[in-house]
Structures are given as structure tokens and as C-alpha cells.
Amino acid sequence: MMTGFGQGQALFETEEETSEQIVQQNSDWQKQVKEELSTVARSIQDGSISFIFYFLFLCFVYGALHALGPGHGKFIVSAYYLAHPGSKLKASIIAVSILILVYSMTTLYKNSEDIISSSMEYINLDVKLKNVKILGIENLEASEVVNIVSELRGISLTSIDLKKISSEINNIDWVKKSELRKIYPSTLEVKVYEHNPIAIWYNEGNKFLVDRDSKIITELNPNKFTNLKVVAGPNALEDIPVIIAMIKNYPEFEKKIKSLLRVGDRRWTIRLHNGITIHLPEKNVANAIEEIEDLDREYSLLSRYIEIIDMRLPDRIDILPSGVTMNSSKI
């Protein structure tokens, strides 16, 4: 059975948790109102003077929410009265007053969209979505974004949940992130940031575009991205950014590379455009590439009739001329 002290402690902990939730909710609301204030302020700056009343309403709501947050003297006054036994009645009156104010502002904010929409209709101000402006599209099909936002046409800008729409757009394959902005009176701006493909991953007969985070973007369109290197191997995906970044340090050598094969999750085999296969070692890969570049500069190694350059052994380089029979790995 819980003692009186235990009951009091549990009640205190419950009240403390509730207080923290209220403060957090208040903070979230302030952030939302502040974002809307910024949007409306930009519209007014662009010449939409009719939004001045909406702006003033938001200022009032933000001020009230801010005043209800921690500080501003009310908690100090409440604490004073609560600390003095003879002032319980005053403390109760203050506490009830604060609760009524919190409830009133909460109700006002929760219904602010309906209030604002009704006000807009009353002064004949049309804020329904009519235009969508999409920015940042390079490889993404614009129709994928349009299909999401087209359902919003005719809806009041004040009631559009930007975070929800942005989340839906971010689920499109090509989209890394998106930013949405309301432009009053009737435009929604969508700015898309696409994934940047760095290589083509060939796996089990399929080709996929991969970004610098080893994320599969989408399947390859055969007519695009012919400049990217093809990387093969079932275990190659996680290592693609590392090898691509490494070969970019050797631009002349990089130009000659057609594809790369990850062998046994241990090392790389490179296939050049002229058909030469290079077996790289498990370790010191950068040193091996530098050695190839040195040999190519001095002896034009990569321009000769060579089938295989084997660098897997640390103390030597084996070179197999073209036309000589030997088992070799090919991509």
C-alpha cells in the first residue's frame, strides 16, 4: 500500500510531467505561429497589404502564447503566494485564472484556422491555393510532385500543413529533402533538393543509381548517366562512396575507368575502357593507383597491348600481354 508521502510524491511527479508537456506544447505553437508570421510578413513586403489584419492577429496570438510561457512574473507571483500559508485563497484564484487563460488561448489557437478563414471570406480576401511553383527539379519527374500538391487546389493556404506535404514529397525516390513556402494570396512554392548520383550499382542483373551515402536512388534509365562508373558486386554498395572518392583524386586514371568489381568484400578489380583489367591489392589501394600512374607516365603502360595487370601481391606486379591464355576476372 502506498504511504501518504508516496502518494504526494506521485502526485508531484504527475503534475511536473503535465507542466513540462504544457510548456513543450506552448513552445511548439510559438514556433508554428512564428513561421506563419514570417510567411505573411514576406507577402506584405511583396505588396499584399490586405494581409495586415492577418499579420496583426498572428502577432496577438504569438504574444499571448509567449506570455503564457515560463517567466514574465506570473510564476514568481504564484510561487510567492503558494509559499505563504495565509495566501492559499489568492494562490488558488491566480492558479485558476492562469488555467482559464491557457484554456482560452489553446482553444483560440486550435480553431485559429477556421477563425482566419472566416475572417478572410468576410473581407472578401481569396487565399485559396491556385498556383504551385516548383523549383530545383533536374532528374525528377515534375508530375510526381504535382500529383501530391494538386489535391490541395482550392484549399485555403492558412489550412495547408506544410510539414505533412513536405514529408510526402520527401518519399519520392529522387528527393533528398524539400522546402515549402506559402506565398499569399494563392501560391505554394515547393523547392526540391535531389539526390546526387555518384555511381551505377550493378547487382543481380539490375542497375541502380547510388548517392554518396550509399543510398539507392532509383533504377537506371539506360539513356542517362553514361558518364558514371559502373560498380558491381553484391557487397559493393557500402563501399561505393569510398572507392569513387579515391579514384577522383587521380583524374587522368579516372577517365580510363569503365567499371569496378568488388571481389569477396576484400578488394577491387578495375576494368578500363580499352579492355585492360587491373587487380588491385587488399591494402594500400591509393599507393597501387599512384604506381600505375607513374608507370603509365614513364612507359605508357595503359596504352600497350595488355590484358591484365595484377597487383595483388605486395612485392611485385604481374603483367599479362594480350593474346596470352590465362584465367582472369572480368566485369
CB 231 within 8 A of CB 262: yes
Residues in the chain: 331
> Pick the residue with more confidence: 311 or 126?
311
Can you tell me the distance from the alpha carbon of 12 to that of 28, in angstroms, rounded to the nearest whole number? 24
For residues 34 and 106, state if they share a domain: yes
> 318-321 and 306-310: which strand pairing?
antiparallel
For cell 494538386, the residue is 150
Query: Residue 330: inside a domain, yes or no?
Result: no
Whether a cis peptide bond, with omega within 30° of 0, leads into 185 is: yes
Picking from 194, 210, 232, the residue at the C-terminal end of a domain is: 194
Q: Calculate the CA dihedral of residues 73, 77, 79, 85 and round it to 10 degrees.
A: 180
Would you say 259 and 329 are in contact if contact means Cβ atoms under 8 Å apart?
no
Question: Could you report the per-residue pLDDT of 273-292, keeping only the tens digit for each?
Answer: 999 999 999 999 999 999 99
Query: What residue has cell string 484556422?
Result: 113
Residue numbers of the domain that contains 80: 4-122
pTM for the model stands at 0.64
Residues 171, 130: Cα–Cα separation, whole Å: 24
Out of 122, 144, 163, a domain closes at 122
* Top-confidence residue, 128 or 102: 128
In a domain, 74, yes or no: yes
Q: Which range (149-153, 279-283, 291-295) has the least confidence?
A: 149-153
Contacts of 97 (CB under 8 A, 6+ apart): none
Q: Is residue 207 part of a domain?
A: yes
